[in-house]
């Protein structure tokens, strides 16, 4: 069972439409990241592409997109969104496409699904290997501050038709854990309870910057997705790096 297998039917609504409207994200990624730092870019490798939601918008904008994800069910959904572009079932910490791209993108804090620093370092080296020299890597994180805050928040509830989805986050030793409860309506007052656990982690911004600078990336910009300037209480931070 892979992360999000059970949550998949509700994932698009909760993740994309309620928490982070797609059009805002795509406008930010396209105008403020790619057009700003790499306007000549034509090819994009999207790591942890999920259901191809973001990739699809980049295809519409004329990019040649390759998507990679570890979850075959995500990719099955992605195929429905697909025209001619490529999908790869693989772990973003260990793959070899024998090809380089103008942009490597890992969006919606997907890197936080990697729980150990060793895995984050493998991710950085995979991105480096698949990126053309002088071109860009874009990824975002949920900060440690954000994860700590969510653990103190009340549970989040979402209603979909007759089903209810409840999300809660707990702090574990060395990582954070979403407990997802889906109350799936059967008939009358009968509900089936389906649970899924999704583990995530983050690391200090200073540690990420130090590591990437030491592995031949140049930091072009780091930006708080909501407020612009990164500060101690930033929740979601994007990094734009150039392979030097
Ligand atoms: C929050 S979703 C984001 C999907 C997409 N980036 C978006 O913006 O809609 C996280 C994705 O990361 C994928 N994922 C988690 N661990 C992975 C790994 N080690 N390698 C590749 N994909 C992974 C999951 O399968 C899931 O599709």
CATH number for the 8-141+204-243 domain, one of 3.30.70.120, 3.40.50.1970, 2.40.170.20, 3.40.50.150?
3.40.50.150
Distance of CA 25 to the CA centre of its chain: 12
Tell me the CA–centroid distance for residue 4 and ligand 1, in Å. 9
Residue partners of 234: CB distance under 8 A and separation at least 6 = 143, 145, 146, 224, 226, 227
Domain residue limits, the chain: 8-141+204-243, 145-200
- The tens-digit pLDDT sequence of the chain (244 residues) is 456 667 777 777 777 767 788 999 999 999 999 999 999 999 999 999 998 999 999 999 999 999 999 999 888 888 887 765 689 999 999 999 999 999 999 999 999 999 999 999 999 999 999 999 999 999 999 999 999 999 999 999 988 888 899 999 999 999 999 999 999 888 888 889 999 999 999 999 999 999 999 998 999 999 999 999 999 999 999 999 999 9
Q: Is 67 in the pocket of ligand 1 (CB under 6 A)?
A: no
Q: Is 74 in the pocket of ligand 1 (CB under 6 A)?
A: yes
In total, the chain counts a number of residues equal to 244
Contact, 41 vs 63, CB < 8 A? yes
H-assigned helices in 51-195: 53-60, 72-80, 117-129, 144-152
pTM for the model stands at 0.94
Residue partners of 95: CB distance under 8 A and separation at least 6 = 68, 88, 126
Tell me the CA–centroid distance for residue 190 and ligand 1, in Å. 33
Say whether domain 145-200 belongs to CATH 2.20.25: yes
Q: How far apart are CA 26 and CA 240, in angstroms?
A: 15
Contact, 212 vs 203, CB < 8 A? no
Atom of ligand 1 nearest to the CA of 91: 20
């Amino acid at each position: 069972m892979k992360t999000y297998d059970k949550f998949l039917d509700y994932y698009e609504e909760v993740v994309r439409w309620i928490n982070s409207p797609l059009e805002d994200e795509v406008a930010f990624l396209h105008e403020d990241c790619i057009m700003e730092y790499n306007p000549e870019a034509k090819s994009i490798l999207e790591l942890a592409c999920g259901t191809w939601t973001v990739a699809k918008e980049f295809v519409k904008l004329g990019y040649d997109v390759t998507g990679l994800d570890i979850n075959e069910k995500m990719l099955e959904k992605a195929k429905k969104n697909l025209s001619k572009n490529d999908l790869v079932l693989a772990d973003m910490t260990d793959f070899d496409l024998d090809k380089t791209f103008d942009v490597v993108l890992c969006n919606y804090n997907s890197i936080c699904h990697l729980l150990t620093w060793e895995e984050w370092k493998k991710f950085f080296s995979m991105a480096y290997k698949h990126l053309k020299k002088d071109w860009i890597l874009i990824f975002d994180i949920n900060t440690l501050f954000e994860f700590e805050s969510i653990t103190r928040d009340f549970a989040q509830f979402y209603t979909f038709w007759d089903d209810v989805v409840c999300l809660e986050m707990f702090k574990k030793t060395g990582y954070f854990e979403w407990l997802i409860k889906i109350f799936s309506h059967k008939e009358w007052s009968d509900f089936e309870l389906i649970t899924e656990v999704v583990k995530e982690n983050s690391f200090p911004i200073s540690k990420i910057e130090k590591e990437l600078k030491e592995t031949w990336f140049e930091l072009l910009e780091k930006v708080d997705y909501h407020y612009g300037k990164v500060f101690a209480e930033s929740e979601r931070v994007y990094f734009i790096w150039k392979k030097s």
